[in-house]
Amino acid sequence: MEDEFEIRDLQNFFDFKGFLVKVVSWWPLFVICIGIAYYIAHYKNVRKQSVYRMSNMITVKDDQNPFFTSNTSLTFNWGGTTDKVQTAIILLRSRSHNEAVVEKLQFYVDYLKQGEYHLEDIYGSTPFKVDVNTLRPQVLDKMVKVVFLSDKKYRLEIDFNGGSGSAQNYKTKEISSLSLPQNTIAKEYNLGDPVDFPYFNFKLNPTDIPVEIGKEYLIKFNAFNGVVSRYRGIGLDQTPTGSSILTLSLTGTNKARLVDYLNSSVNVLSETQLERKNLFATRTIKFIDSSLAVKTAEMSSVQEELDSFRDNNSSVGIGGSEEGLITKITELDAQKQNLEQRLDYYQDLERYLKTREDYSVDIPAPSITGIGEGSVTQSVSNIIELAEERKRLAYSAKPNNPAFKDLDRRINAIKSVLFENMASSQQILNRQLRDVRSEIAQTESQMRKLPNEQQQLFGIQRRYNLSEGAYGLFLDKRSQAGIVKAANVSDILIIDEAKDTGDGPIGPNTEVSYVMAIVGGTAVPLVILFLLFFFDTNISNPNEIKRLSNIPVLGAIGKSSLKSSLVVIEDPRSAIAEGFRGLRSSLQFIYRKQQIEGAKTVRVTSSVSGEGKTFCSINLASVFALSERKTVLVGLDLRKPKIFGDFNLPSDKGVVNYLIGEDNLDTIIQNTQIPHLDVILAGSVPPNPSELLMSDQMDVLIAELKQKYDYIILDTPPLGLVSDALELDEYVDATLYIIRQHYTKKGMLRLINDKYKKKEINNISFVLNYFSAKSKMGYGYEYGYSYGKYGDAYRQNGNSGLFSKIKRYIKDITKWFNNQLEK
């Protein structure tokens, strides 16, 4: 039985139907919010610049030099195509690579014009190109205005506002501060003339774009590092994944700038890769050139000595038998020189690897000294490869990155193996050198048997032949290295260059902005209404009352636009008057159900003041009187009486005077302008209203009233504030509990539910007052519309015009919609 009267908390019950009706009723708010959001989206969209995407495609191939042999191992092997692709990806995103591209294109200069909403990038569309003097500083972030006066003449204007500015030397990248003038600088120049200020140093060179006289162009110099950072986000895509094909892409507002940067980036990468590929050849040629210079000097010196000796000793010559000794000793000297050279290379290489950390510089190819061991050549190549990888990693990784330790470990492992191979090779070379030296000693002993003059000639000829042989060897190696370097081609092959093919912009996506505007314009009021609905603690419709209480709802009274409370009398055909007639009929049914004969009483109360309790009491009494029944309205709200004001009656006498014995019943009864309706006012406010209502005199008053009247309407105090109304329960046949829409709190019904459950109050019914079926809290229920129909039928000033027909048509559609929600 207790569960029957339990109040269900609306916080745990979401009235989706009610919320949907509320949303529909607030449709103008949604229209306004969507309109504002749409306008904001449009305002932003028209100010956004078009964004384009340009791309080019390259492949990283493993192109081996056709002149590469084991004896000309001057080409650096980077470890196959896979490593080359990864190296290319790292380089394209590296700071040093993008610095080189920006510097090559001088992309730190912006070419601008003032558009309708913003500055537009017009790179590639200007009749001039800025040639920056990179040795002089340029003021950053200052607009330089260029206006052409003729095909070759232009005016330069710079607006300075004083203070200090920053200037950058694009050669050294050094940024300095300098004081700026207060005035505007303006001067005329011809295209190609140097612009020399303490703030700017450049030339404007003509391009193929025709000059528009009077058109204004703007130039701005930007910080170098900031521009480089902007381009390091270049898009790189391997298609398919893991292949050697790379697609480079950039997005921006200027197609020409994107095209130039993409193509220049590939060119710089190709040049860098070819330079690295020719690393051995370049260093070997440098080494050979320095050796050739030494050998050339030696040959010249020996040649002079030989010529001088022959001039002074013309009779001394070399016969056929002695020629064999010269040939033999020359061959042995060449072998000795080659073996010593190879040993020196091993010693220098060992010393170099032990004392240096950067192994990517100053190592000539082993083949230049005649070393053909594949293990040594490959080991040196691998060490340089890992050293280059370490250098590339230093651009992007932190010093404590574990990758550095791994690379160092791999380099040390290769060095250990290389040292062992070199030691073994040195042992073999030393044995060969000892054998050659032994043969040389034997040959020299034979030569010492010759006359002294011939021995001197042999010595000079021997040194000349040795220098000539070494010179010829170096010259041959120089030729080989030159052929290898000339034959080398870059491993970067361009498949598609970046090109403006007329494709439209990829952004901004204005449609998404408008869709988001509609979504946002709908979501904001929807959230607001949801919060208002979810946290609304006021009673809004009869269905909420049914969920909160088992006490029946007897009827609903609409809003009154009249200043007077006598709505039933002043506007008897209104919907409100019809509502009170409905209450009268419902009360008659309650009385018949209780089989009450004679006088009948009804108590009107509420939760708190302001809910329309007195208004309902007055009109209910009026509607009973209109049925020609003797009716009396008794003001028992002794603490805050109000009835006297609506009937314009004196309030000096009333119930209080009767209960304290000052006046009799006839004295306190006052007639009204309404036939069959009398009023008994509360009288003066007493200090003990509860005690007066509990007195025996109250029994006498009710008994006398039942003798004189058919209906007794008791206007009692709010039940939620005081207990006065409870003291009258024994006198009443029915109780009307007034609830005002959007005013009465849901929690206030707990008190009356509790008393109803304990049977402290019987025959009680709710009346929803100030009810509006079109309320912005949104409930179109049957009560309001049923009375609305009656009201339309009895409306005194009916209007059958077009406006009224449209209004009724809208009402019918709205009613149908609400009925569908009810179903």
Q: What is the DSSP track for 527-559?
A: HHHHHHHHT--B--SHHHHHHH-SS-EEEEEE-
How far apart CA 741 and CA 780 sit, in angstroms, is: 13
How far apart CA 157 and CA 149 sit, in angstroms, is: 13
What confidence tier does 778 reach under pLDDT thresholds 50, 70, 90? very low
Which pLDDT does position 317 carry in this prediction?
A: 55
Report whether 182 contacts 245 (CB < 8 A): no
With CA atoms as reference, report the closest residue to 529 among 10, 5, 20, 1. 20
User: Tokens 């492949």 — which residue?
Assistant: 59
> Which two structure tokens, joined as six digits, stand for 358?
């950067």
Which pLDDT does position 784 carry in this prediction?
A: 37
Which pLDDT does position 172 carry in this prediction?
A: 92
What confidence tier does 686 reach under pLDDT thresholds 50, 70, 90? confident
What confidence tier does 695 reach under pLDDT thresholds 50, 70, 90? confident
Query: Which stretch of 489-493, 594-598, 626-630, 631-635 has the lowest confidence by average pLDDT?
Result: 489-493
Given its phi and psi angles, is residue 332 left (phi above 0), alpha (psi -120 to 50 degrees) or beta? alpha
Across 651-662, average pLDDT: 87
Which pLDDT does position 502 carry in this prediction?
A: 87
How far apart CA 559 and CA 769 sit, in angstroms, is: 8
Q: How many helices (H) and strands (E) does the chain have?
A: 24, 24
Q: What percent of the chain stands above pLDDT 90?
A: 28
CATH class (in words) of the domain with range 542-795:
alpha beta
With CA atoms as reference, report the closest residue to 126 among 261, 257, 227. 257
Comparison of pLDDT for 728 and 776, the residue scoring more: 728
What is the pairing mode between strands 153-159 and 144-148?
A: antiparallel
Query: Which residue type does 346 have?
Result: Y
Report whether 605 contacts 717 (CB < 8 A): yes
Give CA separation, 489 vs 60, 287, 485, 498, in Å.
Answer: 12, 22, 9, 22
How far apart CA 709 and CA 633 sit, in angstroms, is: 10
Report whether 346 contacts 420 (CB < 8 A): no
Which pLDDT does position 779 carry in this prediction?
A: 41
Which pLDDT does position 449 carry in this prediction?
A: 64
What confidence tier does 791 reach under pLDDT thresholds 50, 70, 90? very low
Give CA separation, 118 vs 112, 121, 123, 561, in Å.
Answer: 10, 10, 15, 56
pLDDT tens-place string over residues 322-361:
667 677 777 777 777 778 778 877 887 777 777 766 555 4
Query: Which residue type does 416 have?
Result: S
Which residues have CB under 8 Å from 553's CB, separation 6+? Answer: 542, 545, 546, 765, 766, 767, 768
Given its phi and psi angles, is residue 79 left (phi above 0), alpha (psi -120 to 50 degrees) or beta? left
Which pLDDT does position 631 carry in this prediction?
A: 95
Comparison of pLDDT for 477 and 789, the residue scoring more: 477
Q: Can you say how many angstroms the Cα of residue 661 is from the centroid of all Cα atoms in its chain?
A: 82
With CA atoms as reference, report the closest residue to 315 among 189, 496, 453. 453
What confidence tier does 125 reach under pLDDT thresholds 50, 70, 90? very high
**Alpha helix segments (H runs only) across 505-642:** 510-534, 542-548, 567-570, 575-594, 613-626
How far apart CA 576 and CA 771 sit, in angstroms, is: 10
Burial letters for 35-50: b for 16+ Cβ neighbours within 10 Å, e otherwise? eebbeebeeebeebbe
Given its phi and psi angles, is residue 162 left (phi above 0), alpha (psi -120 to 50 degrees) or beta? left
Which pLDDT does position 805 carry in this prediction?
A: 54
Q: What is the DSSP track for 38-69?
A: HHHHHHHHTTSPPBEEEEEEEEE-----TT--
What confidence tier does 100 reach under pLDDT thresholds 50, 70, 90? very high
Q: Is the pLDDT of residue 721 over 50?
A: yes
Strand order in the sheet with 128-132: 128-132, 201-206, 194-196
What confidence tier does 794 reach under pLDDT thresholds 50, 70, 90? very low
With CA atoms as reference, report the closest residue to 219 among 160, 146, 154. 146
Q: Is the pLDDT of residue 205 over 60?
A: yes
Sign of CA dihedral 358, 361, 362, 365: positive
pLDDT tens-place string over residues 369-401:
556 566 777 777 777 777 777 776 666 566 777
Give CA separation, 314 vs 305, 347, 448, 457, in Å.
Answer: 14, 45, 21, 11
Which residues have CB under 8 Å from 45's CB, separation 6+? Answer: 508, 510, 513, 514
- Of the CA atoms within 13 Å of residue 768, those in its CB half-sphere come to 27
How far apart CA 530 and CA 536 sit, in angstroms, is: 10
How far apart CA 580 and CA 109 sit, in angstroms, is: 84
Query: Which residue type does 445 have?
Result: S
What confidence tier does 11 reach under pLDDT thresholds 50, 70, 90? very low
Q: What is the DSSP track for 722-745?
A: -STGGGGGGG-SEEEEEEETTTSB
How far apart CA 805 and CA 234 sit, in angstroms, is: 67
- Of the CA atoms within 13 Å of residue 816, those in its CB half-sphere come to 5
Query: Which residue type does 115 have?
Result: G
With CA atoms as reference, report the closest residue to 579 among 712, 775, 768, 765. 768
Q: How many CB atoms lie within 10 A of CB 143?
A: 15
Strand order in the sheet with 164-169: 138-139, 164-169, 174-179
Q: Using omega within 30 degrees of 0 as the cis cutoff, is the peptide bond preceding 240 cis? A: yes
Report whether 73 contacts 366 (CB < 8 A): yes
How far apart CA 820 and CA 814 sit, in angstroms, is: 10
Q: How many CB atoms lie within 10 A of CB 142?
A: 19
> Which two structure tokens, joined as six digits, stand for 282?
């370049």
Q: Please provide residue 85's backbone torsions phi and psi, each rounded to the nearest 5 degrees.
A: -65, -45
> Which two structure tokens, joined as six digits, stand for 347?
């010693």
Which pLDDT does position 116 carry in this prediction?
A: 86
Q: How many CB atoms lie within 10 A of CB 624?
A: 29
What confidence tier does 9 reach under pLDDT thresholds 50, 70, 90? very low
Which pLDDT does position 332 carry in this prediction?
A: 78
Q: How many CB atoms lie within 10 A of CB 613?
A: 28
Which residues have CB under 8 Å from 670's CB, separation 6+? Answer: 647, 649, 650, 678, 679, 680, 681
pLDDT tens-place string over residues 36-90:
998 998 888 888 888 999 999 998 876 555 444 444 444 444 444 556 788 788 8
Could you say which DSSP state residue 507 is in?
B
Comparison of pLDDT for 599 and 453, the residue scoring more: 599
Could you say which DSSP state residue 151 is in?
S
What is the pairing mode between strands 734-740 and 764-771?
A: parallel
How far apart CA 277 and CA 711 sit, in angstroms, is: 115
User: Tokens 């490593």 — which residue?
Assistant: 83
Across 760-785, average pLDDT: 65
Q: Can you say how many angstroms the Cα of residue 600 is from the centroid of all Cα atoms in its chain?
A: 73
Which pLDDT does position 800 carry in this prediction?
A: 46
At CA 433, angle to CA 378 and CA 305, rounded to 5? 110
pLDDT tens-place string over residues 229-277:
999 889 999 877 778 889 999 999 999 999 999 999 999 988 887 777 6
Give CA separation, 311 vs 161, 305, 306, 326, in Å.
Answer: 85, 10, 9, 20
pLDDT tens-place string over residues 440-472:
787 777 666 666 666 666 667 667 777 777 666
CATH 3.40.50.300 placement within the chain:
542-795
Across 294-312, average pLDDT: 72
How far apart CA 710 and CA 733 sit, in angstroms, is: 13
